[in-house]
Amino acid sequence: MVTQATSLSRNGVSDWIIQRVTAYILTSYTVVLTGYVLMQEQLTHEVWRGLFDSTWMQIYTLLAAGSIGLHAWVGMWTIGTDYIREHYFGEGASRLRFIYEVVCIVLIACYLIWTIKILWGS
């Protein structure tokens, strides 16, 4: 079993629960957006902006974006620990895995910061 400080939890059960909870949040977000689009007679920029200017939708969108970040991190961490190993990459696997994980963290953080800027920026 691979354990690293960069894992979200200490065991696979917690990671599995994180994956399930974030999947439910993302599914509900998709259902709400799809329902909203289908219920609109005419979807204009003003209608769409009105939806995303409401505080509840901004919070829901931020929750969905955070869920994407957590879901992606658990998945990417699992891929990194499963496939970036000494068996495939020799002695440099630990360094390569560290670089891979840092790149994943930076990309996810940039995504979340960008989302916050879009939601509450000017």
Q: Annotated binding residues for heme, as ranges?
A: 71
Q: Which residue has the tokens 């769409």?
A: 48
As a whole number of angstroms, the distance between CA 39 and CA 34 comes to 9
Token pair, residue 86, equals: 């000494």
Token pair, residue 89, equals: 């990459």
Cβ(100)–Cβ(84) under 8 Å?
A: yes
User: What residue numbers does the annotated binding site for a ubiquinone cover?
Assistant: 83
Please enumerate in sequence order all residues whose Cβ is within 8 A of that of 78, keeping only pairs 6 or more positions apart, or say none.
15
User: What residue numbers does the annotated binding site cover?
Assistant: 71, 83
